[in-house]
């Protein structure tokens, strides 16, 4: 966006004139002509009549109206004009505009004699529209370092921002980003272009639907599930045999190893359980086995739905 010299930075910049001067010249015995300053098309400070003011030598006073004083005043126009009035028509004033080569926003045409002319680009069009609407002409100036500009720790300002801040140019137009430090040395116009920043990553590859059932888990997890399922049957069988050897009876006297292993698999795929363990150690084993099956089933559903 366009950057303009900042009045706040006037105290630390050479040749900065930001104040509006009001002068009263004596036009008669008790009357004064009021003049206010402005800048003409050549960038020179001029004065224009803003009105008149009179003084009653017997009653005194500093103004007219209902303030109780004896003075009278007539101001034809405000001493400080609004920005729309001040810059709405610049009267053909020549503005030095600092730019850098920056396609596609601002291309510069350079000639052997050092002349710079605008080429094409988004900001070139914007500058031409502003010049037409506000009635000014412009002369291009190129930043020597080719940079947009930053405020350095020692106070020096580089790039286009520095050229404008030092009053070596009247403005800069060239995809300029607003930052806090830059706002301390120049003024910015209203933003006319907002640029977003995003992150990109490679698109995921389409998975083979033939192996979609195996997608919820990695190969290591599937291997662990298979091993635990195969081990569950023998563990339950060994517990039954140990109980029969210890107390002379079996909690599962009629179930073979194949049946126990198949029952563990049925629990894993949520097909119910054929066993009815009737003593505490076996119930504890099956509690943790059901918890394991529940976690695996829930994880697989969440992954497939996501």
Cα-only R_g, the chain = 43
Domain of 115: which CATH number?
3.40.190.10
Both 222 and 275 in one domain: the answer is yes
Both 73 and 112 in one domain: the answer is no
- Determine the pLDDT at residue 150: 93
- Determine the pLDDT at residue 9: 39
Both 97 and 65 in one domain: the answer is no
Both 156 and 117 in one domain: the answer is yes
Residue 196 belongs to a domain: no
Both 39 and 124 in one domain: the answer is no
- Determine the pLDDT at residue 117: 93
Residue 132 belongs to a domain: yes
Both 73 and 97 in one domain: the answer is no
Both 107 and 180 in one domain: the answer is yes
Residue 138 belongs to a domain: yes
Residue 244 belongs to a domain: yes
**Sequential pLDDT tens for the chain (306 residues):** 566 665 443 333 333 334 567 777 777 667 778 887 776 666 677 787 777 777 666 655 444 333 334 445 556 566 666 666 667 788 888 899 999 999 889 999 999 998 999 999 999 999 999 999 989 999 999 999 999 999 999 999 999 999 999 999 999 999 899 999 999 999 998 888 888 889 999 988 776 666 666 666 677 777 777 787 777 777 777 777 777 777 765 444 456 667 777 777 766 666 666 666 666 777 777 777 777 777 776 666 545 444
Decide which of 79, 112, 147 is a domain's last residue. Answer: 79
Both 66 and 34 in one domain: the answer is yes
Decide which of 158, 188, 218 is a domain's last residue. Answer: 188
Contact 188, 1 (CB under 8 A): yes
**What is the count of structural domains for the chain?**
3
Both 43 and 114 in one domain: the answer is no
Contact 235, 252 (CB under 8 A): no
Which residue, 177, 195, 197, 194, is CA-closest to 186? 177
Going from the C-alpha of 299 to that of each of 21, 131, 305, the distances in angstroms are: 77, 65, 10
Rounded CA-CA distance 168/160 in Å is 10
Both 183 and 215 in one domain: the answer is no
Residue 74 belongs to a domain: yes
The pTM (predicted TM-score) of the whole model is 0.50
Both 102 and 74 in one domain: the answer is no
Decide which of 188, 219, 234 is a domain's last residue. Answer: 188
Residue 204 belongs to a domain: no
Residue 127 belongs to a domain: yes
**Residues of the domain holding 163:** 93-188
């Amino acid at each position: 966006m366009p950057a303009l010299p900042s009045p706040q930075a006037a105290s630390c910049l050479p040749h900065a004139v930001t104040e509006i001067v009001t002068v009263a010249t004596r036009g008669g015995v008790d009357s004064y002509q009021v003049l206010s300053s402005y800048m003409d098309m050549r960038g020179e400070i001029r004065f224009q009549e803003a009105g008149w003011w009179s003084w009653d030598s017997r009653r005194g006073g500093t103004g007219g109206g209902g303030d109780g004083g004896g003075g009278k005043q007539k101001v034809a126009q405000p001493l400080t004009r609004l920005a729309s009035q001040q810059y709405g028509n610049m009267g053909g004033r020549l503005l030095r505009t600092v730019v850098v080569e920056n396609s596609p926003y601002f291309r510069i045409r350079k000639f052997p004699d050092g002349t710079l002319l605008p080429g094409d680009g988004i900001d070139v069009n914007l500058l031409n529209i502003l010049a037409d609407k506000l009635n000014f002409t412009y002369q291009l100036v190129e930043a020597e370092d080719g940079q947009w500009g930053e405020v350095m720790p020692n106070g020096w300002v580089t790039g286009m921002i520095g050229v404008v801040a030092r009053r070596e140019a009247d403005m800069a137009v060239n995809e300029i980003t607003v930052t806090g430090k830059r706002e301390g040395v120049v003024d910015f116009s209203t933003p006319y272009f907002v640029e977003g920043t995003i992150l990109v990553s490679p698109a995921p590859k389409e998975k083979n639907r033939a192996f979609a059932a195996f997608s919820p888990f990695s190969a290591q997890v599937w291997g662990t599930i298979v091993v635990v399922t195969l081990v569950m049957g023998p563990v339950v069988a060994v517990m039954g045999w140990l109980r029969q050897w210890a107390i002379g009876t079996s909690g599962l006297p009629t179930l073979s190893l194949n049946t126990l292993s198949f029952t563990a698999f049925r629990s894993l795929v949520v097909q119910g359980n054929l066993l009815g363990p009737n003593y505490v150690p076996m119930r504890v084993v099956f509690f943790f086995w059901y918890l394991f099956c529940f976690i695996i089933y829930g994880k697989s559903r969440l992954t497939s739905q996501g």
